[in-house]
Structure 1
C-alpha cells in the first residue's frame, strides 16, 4: 500500500521556470516532464515559431521578454513565479522518472534538507547518452528556494544558480538534448567562447602563451582519458575534441582581446572611412 501523501496545504508549492526561443520541436516534451509542478512559467524571447502557442496549449503561463543574457533571463523567470520553491529548466531538458520521484519525495518532506538541490544531467550526443568524461554527471543546482538564492552574479554565459545555505544532491538525471546538429553545436560553442572571453577580459583576466598551448590539450586528455570519455565510443571522442576546441577558441579570443584586437567583424562604416 502506498504511503499516504501529506496534507496538500502543508506541502510546498513548486513553480517550474523555463526560458525558450524557437523551441517548438522541444518545448512540448519539456513541459510534459514538468506536469507534477504546481505552475509552469515560460519566458520566451519573441520566438518566430510555434513555441508560444504550444506552451500555452500545454497549460504554461507564457511571458515575453527581450533576451539580454542567459542569467538575466533565468532570474527574471524565477522572479515571475507564483511560488518560492522553483525548478529551473532549459527547453532542451526533461526531468527523468527517477529524478521526478526524488523531487516529489523531497517536496513531501517540505524540502527540509536544504536551501537548494542539485542533480546529475545526462546529455544525449547524436543518438547516445554520454555517461563518462567531462559530460557526466555534470551536476547542476536547479531546484531551490528563491528567498535564499537565485541566478546571481554578472556572468551571462555558463550561468549557475547559488543559494545561501545547504545544498543536497537528489538521485536521478535531468535528461538533456543539447544539439540538433553538429553545425549547431559548433556555432553554439563559438558563441559561448566569445561571450566567456569577453567576460573574462572585462574582469581583467588575460591569456598566457602557456594556457594558449596547454589548456585545450589538457581539456581533451582530462575528459577523454582520465575521466573515461573513451568508454562512450566515437561519440565520446568527438565530444572531447569539440569541447577542447571550445577551450582553444576561448583562449585565442581572450589573447586577441588582451592585445587590443577585435574578435568580431566591426560594423561597416565604423572607422573605416566608408559610408
Structure 2
C-alpha cells in the first residue's frame, strides 16, 4: 500500500532509528547524495533499496527521487533521516490510503519536534506537513524550505510523526541554518528584484497550506524587527516558555536564524552593482 522514501547525505547516525521505525514497509527507498560515511551500508543491511544521485539542489533532488524510482505501491511516505514513525501511526497511514477517494492525492500529518528529548509542544513553528502523497501527483518547488505541491485534494490525518532536528548537536544545527539563511536571503533579494507580489489574501485564506505559508513568509520578510518578533511569537505568544529551557532555547535559536537572514539580505542589497550615470564628452568642443 505504501512505499517509503528517505533522502540522505551522511546520515549514519540518524538513519538506523529511522529505518527501524518503517520496518513494517516492504518497499523502503534510500535516495542518497553520495554519502561519505556508512549511510549506504546501513541502508543496504536493513534491506532498503539504495539509489545515489549527485546533489544539485533541495527541490531538484527530491523531485528526482519522486519521479525516477520504481515504487511498488501507489502511495509514498516521505521522510528525512532524523524523523521517526511511531508504531501507533502505522494503522492510521494504512487505513487512510485504503479509503482515500479518487482526487485525494496527499495527506498532512502532524509533526512533533524534539529538543534534548523534550517535545516542543508550544513553541513548534508549524504542526502539519504533507508527507504522504499519491505516486505521480506531487512535486517540490523552491530550493530552500522547499514546498511540496500536490495535484488534487489534501486531507489531514490523525496521529503524528517525530522529528529530532538537534540529534547531531547544536553545532550541526547552527551550521545548517547558517547555510539556509544565505539561501533564504538570496531568494528574497531575487524575488524582490523580480517584483513578486506576496498576497495578504493568499497568506490568510489560500486553499493550500503550502501556498499560505509561502505568502506568509514573503510578507513577514518585509516586517522590521523580525528577529525580535519571532522571539516574542515563539517564546511568549505560542507559550514556548511552557516547554521549559528547551522551549526558550529553541525560540532564541530561531530568532538568531531570522537575524542571520536579515543581515545577509542587507549585505546582498548593499553589494548590488549600482547603475551609474555616464557623462558623455562631446566629440568636438568649441572654446571662446
- Tell me if structure 2 keeps the 8 A contact 1:15–1:86: yes
Give the alignment of 1:87-236 within 5 angstroms: 87-110=77-100, 114-133=104-123, 135=124, 138-151=127-140, 153=141, 155-179=142-166, 180-204=168-192, 213-236=224-247
Tell me the TM-score normalized by structure 2. 0.79
1:222 & 1:228 partners in 2: Cα distance? 8
The RMSD of aligned alpha carbons is: 2.3
Tell me, what secondary structure is at the counterpart of 2:246? Answer: helix
Closer, same or farther in 2 for the Cα pair 1:188/1:212, shift >3 Å? farther
Unaligned runs of 5+ in 2: 196-217, 274-288
Q: Deviations over 1:78-112 (max 9, x none)?
A: 11142442111001111122322210111232565
Q: CA deviation at 1:122?
A: 0.8
The corresponding residue for 1:21 is 9
- Tell me if structure 2 keeps the 8 A contact 1:201–1:257: yes
1:234 & 1:15 partners in 2: Cα distance? 38
2:249 & 2:179 partners in 1: Cα distance? 19
The corresponding residue for 1:257 is 268
The corresponding residue for 2:42 is 54
Q: Deviations over 1:199-246 (max 9, x none)?
A: 222223599xx9585111111111111111111001100100000111
1:212 & 1:241 partners in 2: Cα distance? 18
1:254 & 1:128 partners in 2: Cα distance? 33
Pair member with larger Rg: 2
Tell me, what secondary structure is at the counterpart of 1:86? Answer: strand
- Tell me if structure 1 keeps the 8 A contact 2:2–2:94: no
Matched, 1:31 2:19: yes
**Residue range with higher mean Cα deviation, 164-173 or 50-59:** 164-173
Unaligned runs of 5+ in 1: 1-12, 263-275
Tell me the TM-score normalized by structure 1. 0.82
1:252 & 1:211 partners in 2: Cα distance? 13
Tell me, what secondary structure is at the counterpart of 1:204? Answer: helix
2:31 & 2:172 partners in 1: Cα distance? 22
